């Protein structure tokens, strides 16, 4: 239970990649972390690309990022929606400024691009947004997972075991 006292925000909007949201949530909970699901509205059910639902615990506006140790951004088509919320971008910028773990997988890089935090950072993503990532100033790598400081990024669902472990390891090592 090495993550017993850790609190994590898992962002959500409709059409998230089902595994990319649920796998890290369950992995962190297995190690004792508290994971709160944050969406546009509290107690709203969002449906993933393949039909798996998740219900938000809080609305974005109700989240105080200083109360959390880390944030996760799922992939799928959800990031294209998430990056349109000023509260989401502020949460990501807060986590970046305070060097708290930020997890991004697949298309989640779009949120970090919109938050303006990728310049000079080593990252990966789905190859489909490689140009978006590099145009934002990131140094893109075609690897399963890469950690640059407090940002952990991954490409796609087959990389989830490595991604979730790397994120959990980073979170466990944070004071």
Angle made by CA atoms 168, 93, 89, in degrees to the nearest 5: 100
Give me the sign of the Cα torsion angle 109, 110, 112, 116: positive
- Is residue 151 within 8 A of residue 166, CB to CB? The reply is no
Catalytic residue, from 98, 107, 141, 150: name it: 107
Does residue 106 come out as left (phi exceeding 0), alpha (psi in the -120 to 50 range) or beta? left
User: Among this protein's residues, is 106 annotated catalytic?
Assistant: yes
Does residue 76 come out as left (phi exceeding 0), alpha (psi in the -120 to 50 range) or beta? left
Catalytic residue, from 36, 98, 106, 150: name it: 106
User: Among this protein's residues, is 98 annotated catalytic?
Assistant: no
Tell me phi and psi for residue 142, to 5 degrees. Answer: -95, 75
Active site positions, annotated: 106-107
């Amino acid at each position: 239970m090495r993550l017993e006292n850790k609190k994590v925000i898992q962002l959500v909007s409709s059409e998230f990649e089902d595994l990319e949201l649920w796998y890290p949530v369950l992995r962190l909970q297995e190690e004792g972390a508290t994971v709160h699901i944050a969406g546009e509205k509290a107690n709203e059910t969002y449906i993933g690309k393949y039909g798996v639902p998740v219900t938000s615990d809080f609305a974005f506006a109700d989240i105080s990022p200083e109360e959390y140790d880390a944030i996760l951004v799922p992939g799928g088509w959800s990031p294209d929606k998430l990056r349109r919320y000023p509260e989401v971008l502020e949460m990501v910028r807060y986590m970046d400024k305070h060097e708290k773990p930020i997890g991004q997988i697949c298309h989640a890089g779009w949120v970090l691009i919109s938050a303006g935090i990728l310049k000079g950072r080593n990252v990966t993503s789905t190859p489909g947004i490689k140009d978006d990532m590099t145009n934002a100033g990131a140094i893109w790598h075609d690897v399963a997972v890469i950690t640059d400081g407090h940002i952990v990024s991954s490409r796609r669902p087959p990389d989830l075991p490595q991604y979730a472990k790397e994120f959990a390891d980073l979170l466990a090592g944070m004071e």
